Amino acid sequence: MQDAIVELAGARKVFASPEGGEVKALDNIYLDVRRNEFLTLLGPSGCGKTTLLQSIGGFVRLDAGTISIDGADMTRVPPHLRPVNTVFQNYALFPHMSVEQNVGYALEVRGIPARERREKVGAALVMVGLGGMEKRRPNQLSGGQQQRVALARAIVARPKLLLLDEPLSALDRGLRHSMQIELKNLQNELGISFVFVTHDKEEALTMSDRIAVLKHGRIQQIAAPREIYDRPANPFVASFIGVSNMFEGSIDSGSLVMDRGETLQLGRTLQDCKGRATAVIRPEQFSLSFEQDTRAGIDVTIDQVIFVGAGFELYARTRGGRELVVSAPASARDDVARAESDRRARLIYVPANIHLMPGEGGSQ
Amino acid sequence: MSLNWLFRGGLVAYTALFFAFIYLPLALIAVYSFNSNPVNMMTWEGFTTDWYWQVLGFKTTVSEAAMYIESTGQLLAALRNSIVIAFSTTLISTVLGTALALALYRYDFLGARTYRVLMFMPMLVPDIVLGIALLIFFVNAGVHLGIGTIIIGQCTFLISYVFIVVSSRLAGMDRSLEHASADLGANEWVTFRKVVLPQLMPGVMGGALLAFIISMDDLVITYFIAGTDVTTLPIFIFAMLRRGIKPEINAIAVMMLTFSFLVASLGLYLRSRQK
């Protein structure tokens, strides 16, 4: 494929677990990283996302399968010969070198003359907003600054691909958010692909062109953030990406019939489906109503209302005892107040917007 | 309240005694080295630096009868031997000990664990046993005893000291730095030279200084394998003692102490700077 910078085919890696068993870190992974794309590997700890990143960088040798980078087979190529640079989770800055020496390391190793090196290092430091810090030592910098040095060091030699291993996890919340935006801008500016590992779904949704959700060494779904959010491939993805209300049941003449006798109306396109399925309704897809009309809706009692600044979160319960989460915008203030005082409401949904996934398994 | 005070007072007294026990003998030697009484150095007669001048081979007013050192040449020859041996063993044991530590840290090969345990053995074996063992070995192998055998013999246990110091430094090292170096395009050799070795340097220097001082100081093992021609400084001093304690010994001791102190200070300074 011409527009893929990285291609993994049938990648497998098994580690021995401390209990003496085996852990499949990578289980038959097929993955293409496109050119100029910001791809996020997202998943809970132990899902294989870091192993996947390290196998692209060359630090993990695959048990089976192949990796090619920019059309060249890299399966057995050691890390220092791969056209790839990494921003490590703990930054891994060389403590005995100045910022300038750290950032210039990749150039020095390639034998680039000192003057040209200094120019490029300066430019890279300006790019990450650290101009004028050349002479400092890593231990004289704050966590955020060290992060930027690690970033400058990884981009100074213009790799074809930048790998980022949870680089923002050690930063505080505010700084993390501004770095997310900066990283995204940097990726546009450099015009290279970023592969970013995180367990933070907000981070993934904010920055990515595509997200690959992993679990147990398998890719559960790979798609654009909105697609992943709106049309999760399975209940695991649905619950991992944001809060989801999930309904399991069997499809029967245009409705999803749940085990406790409750039903959910389905859109016209789903009428022909058969068998067991799980439906997803995101908290913001409900709207509050108090009248019995022809619109599809669920009658609930309201357990709790929480003010979250930009809006409200309502914890509701159906007659069958199913717990639901509803989010309402600040503009729905009056309805929320009424629901809170009445202790009950009707949750309106649009059947056509319901996303249906085959199979069972609501939580995780 | 008063019990607490008593406890604190006791602690202070204990600490003072502790340091007095360690350092008072050294202080006494320093004081006696300036005592002009040639017969009984416990009796203070007056201040003099004659013993130092005497040791260093200058003409002094000290009477011939009071002196032990027959010729300063002997002393200086012993010192020179000690220094040659110390520099050689330091160089050899530092290189080999560091290489060994790196190999055992980096690679997991068959018998690595046994190897590691064996490296502690020379420190646990009594000096006298090691000395006899080396003597028997050299004699059976037909090697002429001398500076060469001393260097080989001292290296057998100095490598262990360097190995242990460097290993402890390696254990605290961040492995991800090597990954970062490889990631940025450096091969193993460049990574070793530019990242691993600079990180390791305080450990290597510490091991080298330790080896140097132990080598300068070693008496028992060296005594066995020195043969008849070669005398090192500790052997020379030991031989002097058999003829009774003379004031020159105090002067020699103070000079050795000063030297060790300077070397140790240098080591600490280098360590604090590289942190």
User: Distance of CA A37 to CAs A54, A111, A196, Å?
Assistant: 18, 30, 11
Which residues of chain A neighbour B174 with C-beta distances below 8 Å?
90, 92
Any CB–CB contact under 8 A between B185 and chain A?
yes
Burial of A278 (0-12, 13-18, 19+ CB in 10 A): buried
- How far is residue A313's CA from residue B135's CA, in Å, rounded to a whole number? 86
Mean pLDDT within A164-171? 87
Asked whether residue A93 carries a pLDDT value surpassing 90, the answer given is yes
Is A307 touching B (CB cutoff 8 A)?
no
The identity of residue B17, as a single letter, is L
User: CB of A8 within 8 A of CB of A31?
Assistant: yes
Interface test with A, best of B175, B184, B187 (most A CBs within 10 A): B184
pLDDT band at B61 (very low <50, low <70, confident <90, very high): low
**pLDDT greater at residue B101 or residue B112:** B101
In angstroms, the CA A229 to CA A239 distance is: 10
State how far residue B96 is from chain A, nearest Cα, in angstroms. 25
What is the rounded CA–CA span in Å between residue B86 and residue B81?
8
Minimal Cα distance from A105: which residue of B? B184
Interchain CB distance below 8 Å, B185 and A106: yes
Whether the CB-CB separation of B259 and B268 falls below 8 Å is answered with no
Residues of A in contact with B181 (CB under 8 A): 94, 105
Neighbouring residues of B114: CB distance < 8 A, sequence distance ≥ 6: none
User: Nearest CB to B186: which of A80, A86, A92?
Assistant: A80
Question: CA A55, A59, A63, A65 torsion: positive or negative?
Answer: positive
User: How many CA within 13 A on the CB side of residue A326?
Assistant: 34
Q: B218 — phi, psi (to 5°)? A: -70, 130
| Spatial separation of the C-alpha atoms in residues B90 and B214, rounded to whole Å | 10
How far is it, in rounded angstroms, from Cα B232 to Cα B75? 9
Count how many pairs of residues, chain A against chain B, have C-beta atoms within 8 Å: 59
Helix axis angle, B2-32 relative to B247-274, nearest 10°?
A: 120
Of A78, A92, A153, the CB nearest to B174: A92
Contact B180 A96 (CB under 8 A): no
Q: Which of B223, B31, B41 is nearest to B134 (CA)?
A: B223
Q: Please state the φ and ψ torsions of residue A252, each to the nearest 5 degrees.
A: -145, 110
DSSP string covering A73-109: E-TT--GGGSSEEEE-TT----TTS-HHHHHHHHHHH
Q: Which is higher by pLDDT, B66 or B265?
A: B265
Q: How do beta strands A161-165 and A84-87 pair? A: parallel
- Give the mean pLDDT of chain A: 88
Handedness of CA A94, A96, A97, A98 (dihedral sign): positive
Q: A132 exposed, middle or buried (CB, 10 Å; 0-12, 13-18, 19+)?
A: exposed
What is the spatial distance between Cα A130 and Cα A144, in angstroms, rounded to a whole number?
Answer: 11
Q: How far is B95 from chain A (nearest CA, A)?
A: 22
Which of residues B38 and B254 earns the better pLDDT score? B254
Residue B65 has pLDDT above 70, yes or no: no
Report the pLDDT value the prediction gives residue A1, as an integer from 0 to 100. Answer: 47
The band of B64, judged by pLDDT with boundaries at 50, 70 and 90, is: low
In terms of Cα–Cα distance, which of A102, A97, A68 is closest to A84?
Answer: A68
Report the DSSP beta bridge partners of residue A327. Answer: A313
Determine whether the interchain pair B194/A92 forms a contact, defined as Cβ–Cβ distance below 8 Å. no
| A60 in Cβ contact with A163 (< 8 Å) | no
List CB contacts of A307: < 8 A, sequence separation 6 or more: none
What is the complex's ipTM, to 2 decimals? 0.80
pTM assigned to the model: 0.77
Q: How confident is the model at residue A314 (pLDDT cuts 50, 70, 90)?
A: very high
Q: Residues 103-132, chain B: which have Cβ within 8 Å of A?
A: none
- Write the burial class of residue A91 (CB in 10 Å: 0-12 exposed, 13-18 middle, 19+ buried): buried
Cβ pair A85:B186 closer than 8 A: no
Of A131-140, A213-222, A226-235, B36-45, the range with the lowest mean pLDDT is B36-45
Q: Sign of torsion, CA B73 B74 B77 B83?
A: negative
pLDDT value for A97: 93
Mean pLDDT of chain B: 86
Residue environment code for B71-92, b if the CB has 16+ CB neighbours within 10 A, otherwise e: eeeebebbbebbeebbebbbeb
pLDDT above 90 covers a percentage of chain B that reads 40
The domains of chain B, with CATH numbers, are 3-64 (no CATH), 72-244 (1.10.3720.10)
